[in-house]
Chains A and B, each alone.
Chain A
Amino acid sequence: MRLFTCVLAVAVTTLVSGCATVPTDPEDRAEYEALNDPLEPTNRTVMDFNLALDDAVLRPVARGYRSGLPDEVQHGIHNVLNNLRSPLIFANDTLQGSPNRAGDTLIRFMINSTMGVFGIFDVVGDTGGPRYHGEDFGQTLAVWGVGEGPYLVLPFFGPSNPRDTVGLGVEFLADPADLALVNQSLEWAVWTRTGVGVGDERAELLDPIDDLKRNSLDFYAAVRSIYRQRRANEIANRDMKASDLYKKESH
């Protein structure tokens, strides 16, 4: 109990000392509130930690993954990982009251898991059917009206907020594909999926992140801006189907 109290005291002290100072000037204060990043000093420190870890481990691994595997193999792995997320996406589509999107996810999962050889090939998307769309429990909470809370940078996971952090935790515990694997005593498969997923995602982001580092004056601020805009776009489901792409006039 005493240890817990000490840890709590240290955590609170760290958080408080890591808070940004609230400006007194009205314009400055309005900007401060719009940024919604009261923990900016702490967040910047965590990002520095994440970047150091990335430089030491993830980025080299991702570069090896990309240069060591043929493109076709990487695409196949990426498709399989997307396909394994389908039950989770279906659940979130349903929880958000989006039957059409849930139907798209279900059809994709059924066809790609069979005709697409366990999801290696995106048969549905490649033949003009519904394209892959992501969905997560953080988005579901947003659709249910839960506020995002202040911007957070999580160790290892990167940009987030309290709402998305809760979503991440729920998905960690309740991913249907992982639960099914654990029920079959295939815990190794869960860890393999997680590890390959991290490598695949980092490999996809190699060039964009390098570009953003080179092209931004304040990498932290640029990432924060992009993360928020992207999340707002994802929550609004402003993606498109392949069939939408050709239905209007073309130049």
Chain B
Amino acid sequence: MLTFLYRMTAALILVAAFAHPVAVTAAEPPVAKELIATLATDAMQTFGVKTLSADERSTLFRDRLLRYSSTKLVSADILGRYWGRFTDGERAEFEGLLVDYVVAIWSGRLADVDPGTKVNVQDAEVVGDKVVVHSVVFAPDEPPAPVDWYVVTADTGANVVVDVQADGVSLIKTMREDFTALLRANGGHAAPLFDAMRKKMAQRAGS
């Protein structure tokens, strides 16, 4: 039932470094396709190197996350209606924590990226205010995995990925329901969420 998680891991490794907010208009489909092709090549060349240490992988992952993404829109998507309830300080703190959290949670899995993994970029279509780029990820010894990328043009003019779906499961939607469950259980207050994120990061660091 959950083998999609492996597919999503491969997708996340690619998208997390490129998830970019501050955008509300769909990108041009050919441009979006080119972005995903470039992203896939870049990510595989970077993280397919097996001689990287854990610290190097984390550093590279963080560098790319910060270089290619503005976490504001992704943060707002994940928090949904709670984003509007947070203070400016809480929003800023969440954005920073989210980067740390994604790096801590996912960078360990970068070691599992097979250098032989290929991404076959297929067609693209406009869906609402986003362009969906369809692709298939071929990892050695794994069944081909359909992965969809959601691309928008930010108000800065940059084309960025704002979500990824593997086997029909949206990374952002799953994170939203995970995070907001904790907020809902704590009256919508930010502090318990931040504490939980820090606790999870500490657990990962100690494992």
- Which residues of A does B touch, CB under 8 Å? 27-28, 31, 35, 131, 201, 204-205, 207-209, 211-212, 214-218, 220-222, 224-227, 229-230, 232-234, 236, 238-240, 242, 245-246, 248-251
Residue interface bits B90-117, CB-to-A below 8 A is 1, else 0: 0000000000000001100100000000
Q: Is there contact, CB below 8 Å, between A230 and B167?
A: yes
| Closest A residue to B135 using CB positions | A251
B178 neighbours in A (Cβ, 8 Å): 216-218, 221-222, 225
A211 and B109 alpha carbons, distance in the complex (Å): 10
Of the candidates A201, A214, A251, the one having the most CB atoms from chain B within 10 angstroms of its own CB is A251
Cβ of A207: which chain B residues have Cβ within 8 Å of it? Answer: 5-6
Q: Bound state CA distance, A1 and B103, in angstroms?
A: 60
Q: Which 9 A/B pairs are nearest by Cβ-Cβ distance? A: A233-B168, A221-B181, A208-B2, A225-B177, A251-B37, A208-B5, A218-B181, A248-B122, A222-B178
Chain A residues with CB under 8 A of B167:
230, 233
Q: For the complex, is B156 an interface residue (Cβ under 8 Å from A)? A: no
The count of A-to-B residue pairs whose CB atoms sit within 8 angstroms is: 106
A197 → chain B closest CB, angstroms: 13
Known contacts A221-B177, A222-B177; decide if A31 and B121 are in contact (CB<8 Å): no
**A222 and B174 in contact, given A131-B143, A209-B2, A217-B196 (Cβ under 8 angstroms):** yes
Q: Which residues of B contact A217 (CB under 8 A)?
A: 178-179, 181-182, 193, 196-197, 200
The interface on chain B, measured as residues whose beta carbon lies within 8 A of the other chain's beta carbons, has a size of: 45
The reply to whether A249 and B122 form a contact with Cβ atoms under 8 Å apart is: yes
**B140 part of interface (Cβ distance < 8 Å):** no
A250 touches B121 (CB 8 A): yes
Contact of A27 among B81, B170, B197 (CB under 8 A): B81
Q: A221-B181, A224-B177, A225-B174 are in contact. Are A233 and B169 (CB under 8 A)?
A: yes
Assess whether B120 is in contact with A251, with CB atoms less than 8 Å apart: yes
Given A208-B3, A215-B105, list of 7 further CB < 8 A pairs? Answer: A27-B81, A208-B5, A211-B109, A217-B182, A218-B181, A220-B181, A229-B170
Q: Complex: how many Å from CA A175 to CA B4?
A: 27
Please state if A205 and B174 are interface contacts (CB–CB under 8 Å). Answer: no
Is B177 within 8 A of A250, CB to CB? no
B155 contacts chain A at the CB level, 8 A cutoff: no
- Does residue B40 face the partner (Cβ distance < 8 Å to A)? yes
User: Are A230 and B181 in contact (CB-based, < 8 A)?
Assistant: no
Within 8 A of A (CB), among B25-63: 37, 40-41
Contact yes or no, B3 A204, CB < 8 A: yes
B67 adjacent to chain A (CB < 8 Å): no
Tell me the nearest residue of chain B to A246, going by C-beta.
Answer: B120
B97 to chain A, nearest CB (A): 12
Contact, CB under 8 Å: B1 / A205: yes
Q: Are B144 and A214 in contact (CB under 8 A)?
A: no
In the bound complex, residues from chain A placing their C-beta under 8 Å from that of B200 are: 215, 217
Chain B 170-191 against A: per-residue CB contact (8 Å), 1 yes, 0 no? Answer: 1001100111111011000000
Q: Which residues of B contact A (CB under 8 A)?
A: 1-6, 9, 37, 40-41, 81, 105-106, 109, 119-123, 136, 138, 143-144, 146, 167-170, 173-174, 177-182, 184-185, 193, 196-197, 200, 203-204, 207
Chain B residue numbers with a CB within 8 Å of A31 are 81, 180, 184
**Contact A251:B177 (CB < 8 A) given known A205-B1, A212-B5, A229-B168:** no
Contacts of B196 in A (CB 8 A): 217
With a cutoff of 8 Å between Cβ atoms, the chain A residues found around residue B4 in the complex are: 208, 226, 230
Query: What distance in Å separates the Cβ of B147 from its nearest Cβ neighbour in chain A?
Result: 11
Chain B residues with CB below 8 A from A214, complex form: 105, 203-204, 207
Contacts of B136 in A (CB 8 A): 240, 245
Contact indicator A229/B3 (Cβ below 8 Å): no
12 interchain pairs (CB within 8 A)?
A27-B81, A205-B3, A208-B3, A217-B193, A217-B196, A218-B185, A229-B169, A234-B168, A236-B168, A240-B136, A240-B144, A245-B136
A46 to B61, CA, bound (A): 38
* Contacts A220-B181, A238-B168, A245-B120 given; does A251 touch B2 at CB 8 Å: no
List, in ascending order, chain B residues with CB within 8 A of A229's CB: 168-170, 173-174
